[in-house]
Every structure is written in C-alpha cells, then in structure tokens.
C-alpha cells in the first residue's frame, strides 16, 4: 500500500493539541530566568560574605591616604666659625683674613650707611669707601683703624685682638747678675689688661670711666666701657670680649679726628653708639671658636 492510498484512507489529521513551538519558547525563557537567578544569588552571597568579613575586622585605615612618608633627616648645619692661630705666619695670615671678612660683614649689617676715610693724612677728610682693614703685627696681635662718618658724626673706629694680661700690675724686675743694685728693666707685657680692671687716668687728663660687665649670647665675658676726657673732649665707647685662647677682642669708637697733638673732637658724641659697637663686636666674636 502506497503512502498516497494510506493518506486518502485516514484523511486530513486533526490539528495538534500540543503547542511545540510555545513549549520551546517557554523552556528557553525558563532557562534564561534560572541563569539570571543564579547570577543574582551568587552576587548576593558575595556581598553578604564581604559585609560579614568587614564587620568582623572592624574599620580599616585608609591605606591610600595613609600617613605621610617620614621626612629625610636634614643634614647637620655646617660650622662656619674659624679658629684664631698665630703660631706661624701662614696661620696668622689665614686668621687675619677671617677676621677681616667677619669685620666687614658686621659693619655692613649694623651700620650700612657708614662712610669710611683714612684716619690720618692730608686726605683724611675725604671718604675713600674702603672698610677698615686689620693687619698682623708679627708677634701675637691683630689691629686696624679707620675714619668713619655716620649720621652726621665723624670719628675713628679701631679694632684689635691681643693677648690677655691678668691685672694692671707690672711684673717684678728681674735681678741683674752683673749689677745687683740695678735690676734689669722689665719688658712690657704683650697685651692689655681687662677693661674694667684698668687703672683710671689722673689730673687734667682724668677720664670718667663707666664700665659694665655682661656676657655675649654665646657666653663670652664682655665689658662695655665709656671714657670721657675733660681736657680734650674725647669720648670713647669701647667693647672688650674675652676670646678662647686667652685673648681679648677690643672695638673702640672715638669722636676724635687727626693724630697726636693735631687730634681734636669732631663733635661731642662718638660716631657710633655703644649699642652699635656691641652689635658689631658680638657678630664678629660669635664667629670665633675655641
């Protein structure tokens, strides 16, 4: 029997009661829904686990904004002070150079408007612009002086560094083995006594001495002295500071101009005040180390 005859005998089949296409579509939607639900469940599980872990550990520091890195240790400050030495000519030249540099810097800091001129000579009243210069005396001292014009006042500024001599008394005269009745004249000591221990003047040349002792910021012994001489009208401010190595630093400002008998008071006051001299002296001596 052929398929055609069989089809004719059974006729047209009734419509299918099962919607296969719809079943396939619904199955696809169900699988998609299950996948989505599984993904959401996994995310929810991770979120809950993370929350529980954070709560168990407590709040953690913010590592991104953590403490700043430690600063690198700063380098130790360089000691720019210098030591005074006069045991050789080379050492004396180096020490004198350091003193001149410190002297010039202090003058520019404290009295920048001061004008400088020679302390003596035919052109002594004409400023030359040169700062005072210190020189080594070949033994154990450094000194220098210059004329100064400051705030309408004229005078002399001098600086020295010399050995310290304790007390004003002169040493006993040594015996003369050739003639005991005439002892050898003592050689004057190299240096000067401390300012406040120096004997006052006498007679018409007597000076009124005002001497006050204190200390520098670095602890060095300091004396601030004012001398007024009635006969000549001389007014001097002098700063003395004890230095390491048994030396004395001296800085003096005077209202006198000229030298020896030709010296005269330019005005009743010194060109620099005691306070200005003190500031200059402290700036210089604080640069000297033991």
Residues 93-119: tens digit of each pLDDT: 999 999 999 999 999 999 999 999 876
The pLDDT-based confidence of 12 (bands split at 50, 70, 90) is low
1-5, 108-112, 168-172, 207-211: range with lowest mean pLDDT: 168-172
- The confidence score (pLDDT) of residue 242 equals 93
Alpha carbon distance 117, 266 (integer Å): 14
Per-residue CA distances from 267 to 128, 151, 228, 257, 278 (Å): 21, 12, 13, 10, 21
Contact at 8 Å (CB) between 119 and 230? no
Give the tokens for residue 43: 């995310």
Q: Give the mean model confidence (pLDDT) for residues 194-216.
A: 72
- The confidence score (pLDDT) of residue 32 equals 61
Percent helix, percent strand, percent coil in the chain, to nearest 5? 30, 25, 45
In the block, tokens 């168990």 appear at 56
**Mean pLDDT over each residue of the chain, to the nearest integer:** 74
- The confidence score (pLDDT) of residue 62 equals 53
pLDDT tens per residue across span 236-285: 999 999 998 889 999 999 999 876 667 889 999 999 999 999 999 999 99
Alpha carbon distance 83, 91 (integer Å): 10
Alpha carbon distance 4, 224 (integer Å): 145
Q: What residues have CB less than 8 Å from 117, skipping those under 6 apart?
A: 123, 124, 125, 126, 127, 128, 146, 147, 148, 149
pLDDT tens per residue across span 46-86: 555 555 454 555 555 555 556 666 666 667 788 888 999 98
- The confidence score (pLDDT) of residue 34 equals 62
The pLDDT-based confidence of 27 (bands split at 50, 70, 90) is low
- The confidence score (pLDDT) of residue 258 equals 74
Contact at 8 Å (CB) between 85 and 99? no
Residue 147 in this model has a pLDDT that exceeds 50: yes
Flag whether the pTM goes above 0.95. Answer: no
Region class of 239: left (phi > 0), else alpha (psi between -120 and 50), else beta: beta
pLDDT tens per residue across span 121-140: 444 555 566 788 899 988 88
Instruction: Determine the longest span between alpha carbons in the chain, in angstroms.
Output: 182
Q: Give the mean model confidence (pLDDT) for residues 222-227.
A: 92
């Amino acid at each position: 029997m052929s398929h055609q005859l069989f089809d004719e005998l059974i006729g047209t089949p009734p419509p299918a009661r099962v919607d296969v296409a719809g079943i396939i579509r619904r199955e696809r939607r169900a699988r998609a829904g299950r996948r989505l639900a599984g993904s959401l469940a996994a995310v929810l599980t991770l979120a809950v686990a993370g929350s529980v872990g954070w709560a168990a550990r407590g709040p953690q520091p913010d590592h991104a904004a953590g403490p700043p890195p430690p600063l690198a240790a700063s380098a130790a400050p360089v000691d720019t002070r210098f030591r005074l030495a006069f045991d050789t000519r080379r050492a004396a030249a180096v020490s004198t150079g350091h003193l001149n540099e410190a002297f010039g810097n202090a003058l520019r800091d404290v009295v920048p408007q001061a004008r400088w001129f020679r302390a003596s000579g035919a052109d002594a009243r004409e400023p030359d612009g040169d700062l005072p210069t210190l020189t080594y005396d070949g033994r154990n001292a450094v000194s220098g002086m210059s004329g100064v014009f400051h705030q309408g006042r004229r005078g002399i500024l001098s600086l020295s560094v010399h050995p310290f001599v304790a007390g004003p008394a002169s040493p006993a005269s040594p015996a003369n083995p050739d003639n005991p009745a005439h002892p050898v004249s003592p050689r004057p000591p190299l240096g000067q006594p401390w300012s406040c221990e120096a004997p006052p003047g006498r007679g018409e040349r007597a000076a009124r001495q005002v001497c006050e002792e204190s200390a520098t910021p670095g602890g060095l012994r300091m004396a601030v002295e004012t001398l007024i001489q009635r006969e000549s009208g001389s007014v001097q401010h002098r700063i003395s500071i004890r230095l390491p190595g048994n030396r004395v630093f001296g800085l003096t400002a005077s209202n006198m101009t000229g030298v020896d008998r030709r010296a005269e008071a330019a005005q009743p006051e010194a060109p620099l005040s005691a306070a200005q001299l003190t500031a200059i002296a402290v700036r210089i001596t604080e640069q000297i180390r033991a």
